[in-house]
Structure 1
Amino acid sequence: MVSDNVAQAAGAEQRLKGLGIALPPPPTPFGAYVEAVRIGKLLFLSGMLPVIDRKPQFLGRLGGELSVEEGRKAAELAALSALSAVRDHLGSLDRVTAVAKLGVYIAADGDFRDHPKVADGASEVLLRVFGREMLSGRVVLGVASLPLGLPVEVELVLEVAE
């Protein structure tokens, strides 16, 4: 693992390499939308799902078919897909200057209470890649269902360099 001093000095691309994190292929839309839209200095990402090559890697709801740990892994994969979409759109993660907002939507049974633990899977990816100085506020919501029966959807708004 990269030491804190090295991580603080390195850019996002170097951190990925140093941590041995391989991004999945950039996601492609499941409908009539685009994965990323840039407006001025802000890059808005569509909801990112825990899929690889359009194939769901997790199915079901938290507190039902899936455990908290499986939910964390799904959130982590969705965040990695988001980073892949960012790199595809910008050419490099080093162009990200701030994480403005993270939203994590979790399909869960009605009595599920561990939403923050699941969302930490996505937050921790961003922490490792961008560093503590770029941690953002986040919204974590439990919902009845998500597209394709997936358990997690991650949404990001980023500030990017010109």
Structure 2
Amino acid sequence: MHIEKKLEALGLTLPPPPPRGGLYKSCKLFGTNLAYVSGCGCIIDGPVAGKLGIDFTLEEGQEHAKNAMLNVLSVLKAEIGDLDRVKSCVKILVFVASADDFYDQPAVANGATKLLGELFGEEIGIPSRSAVGMNVLPGNLPVEIEAMFELCD
């Protein structure tokens, strides 16, 4: 099944690629068939601001991570034209704006990783990853994700 059909089966659609927040490329192709997607926030349907452990629950954080990954995939698709070109989801880095006593950043990141697994399957879709707590993120976002993908020829 094609990735777009899998998104549809999950009741999801890719949002338009989010606007850049500065002077950088949203997606950079490099090496042999590698794509790096700059950090994408979790805004899809209107403003989202705050921290995990204060303003948002773990479950809400997982939803924010899923939304950030949808933005990542939207940026990737805009660059490469077709998400079926993804050979491997190599690595993601998940930034979580966190209260001082919130320690579940990896569980928040599961919202993004689960989506990749559902779309691409475990072998291709489950990346290596890091999940880190931050004092603040740009625009007071709760979650931001950057990613690296290997592409088919």
TM-score range, shorter chain: over 0.9
> Which of the residues 92, 106, 109 maps onto 1:116?
106
Residue type at the aligned position of 1:160:
L
Q: How does 1:1-162 map to 2 (within 5 A)?
A: 10-40=1-31, 41-52=33-44, 55-56=46-47, 58-134=48-124, 135-162=126-153
Residue type at the aligned position of 1:123:
T
- Provide the C-alpha distance between the structure 2 equivalents of 1:115 and 1:156, rounded to a whole number of angstroms: 17
- Provide the C-alpha distance between the structure 2 equivalents of 1:48 and 1:110, rounded to a whole number of angstroms: 23
Q: CA deviation at 1:64?
A: 1.1
TM-score by length of 2: 0.93
Q: Which runs of 5+ in 1 are unaligned?
A: 1-9
Residue type at the aligned position of 2:132:
L
Q: CA deviation at 1:157?
A: 0.2
Number of residue equivalences: 151
SS at match of 1:80: helix
- Provide the C-alpha distance between the structure 1 equivalents of 2:129 and 2:36, rounded to a whole number of angstroms: 14
Stretch moving more, 13-22 or 113-122: 13-22
- Provide the C-alpha distance between the structure 2 equivalents of 1:51 and 1:21, rounded to a whole number of angstroms: 15
The answer to whether the 8 A contact 1:96-1:160 is kept is yes
Question: Where do 4+ consecutive residues of structure 1 move more than 6 Å?
Answer: none
TM-score by length of 1: 0.88
Q: What is the percentage of aligned positions where both structures have the same residue? A: 39
Q: Which runs of 5+ in 2 are unaligned?
A: none
Alignment RMSD (CA, Å): 1.4
